[in-house]
Amino acid sequence: MKPGQYADQHSPRQPRRPWVVGVSGASGTPYAAAVLRGLLDAGESVDLVVSRASRLTLLDETGIAFRDAYWRDDLRSWLARGADGKPDAFVPDLPPDPAPDASSGSPEAADVRHWSAGDLAAGPSSGSYPVKGMLIVPASTACVAGVALGLSKDLLQRAASVTLKERRTLVVAVRETPLNGQTLKHLVTLDEAGAVVLPASPAFYAGATHIQDLVDFVAGRVLDAAGVPHRLYRRWEGELGGGSRGDADGPGAARGPAR
C-alpha cells in the first residue's frame, strides 16, 4: 500500500468532528438538555455518552427512561422537556433518523450519535477519533474523581482521559454542594491538566425570571468555554440594572423554538 492510499480511498471529504457530551449521575439533567439544544442550534455534531448512574437521575428528575435501543425517541422527549417539567416546552432541532442502510460509523449517518457507556471500543475511546472536545454536564464528584485519577472505568471517563491527553477542550460542569477536600483536590488536578472546571452555579445579573433562565445561564457558560456561539443568556455589558429591564433581548429570547 502506498503512503496516503488509505486516506485517498476512505476520506473523500472532511471527517465529522463532533463534541462529545458526557452526562454523569449528578443531579442536573436539565443542564445537559440545555447544552445539547445549544449545540444543535449552533449546527454542531454531537456524540452522546449517558452513564448508567445518569439514567437513574434522568428517570428520577424527568420520568424519562433512556434506553439504548430507543435512544432517539428518549432523547427527543428529554430535549423537549423544560426545566420546570413541562413535557413540550421545546421543539428539539434533532436531525432525522438515518436511513436503514446507513452505517452507524458513517459521518453522514446523523448529527447526533449515541455510544453506550459500557462500550470501551467506541469511537471516543481513541485519540485518533476526530472530535473537537468534550463537555461533561453535569459532572458528579465520582466522575470528577475517576477522570482526575485516570480510572477510565467506563466510556465517559475514558473519553475524558483521551480528551486531556490529546490536549483538546474538556469542560467539567461539576454539580455538587458542599465540596469536600478530596473533591477540591481532584478539581485542582483537572485544572492543572488543562480542563475547564465550571461549577453549575447560576448567576442572577442576566435577569432570570424563570427556572429555565437559570439553567440556560449555566448551559451558556459551558458553551462559552467551548467557544460555541449561542444566545442563551443576556451578557454583561457594564451597565447596572440591565438584568431588571426584562427587554426583548433578555433571557429566553433566543432559547430556540418553543411552544
Is the predicted pLDDT of residue 126 greater than 60, yes or no?
yes
Distance CA 74, CA 160 (A): 24
Euclidean distance between CA atoms 214 and 1, whole angstroms: 56
The Cα angle at residue 222 between residues 68 and 152, in degrees rounded to 5:
50
The beta-carbon contacts of 199-202 under 8 Å, at least 24 apart in sequence, are 199/173, 199/174, 199/175, 200/28, 200/31, 200/137, 200/138, 200/173, 200/174, 200/175
Question: What's the pLDDT tens digit per position in 15-72?
Answer: 899 999 999 999 999 999 999 999 999 999 999 999 999 999 999 999 999 999 999 9
| DSSP conformational letter for 207 | -
pTM of the model: 0.88
Which three cell numbers, joined as nine digits, stand for 38? 445549544
Greater confidence (100 vs 245) lies with 245
Report pLDDT digits (tens) over 188-218.
999 999 999 999 999 999 999 999 999 999 9
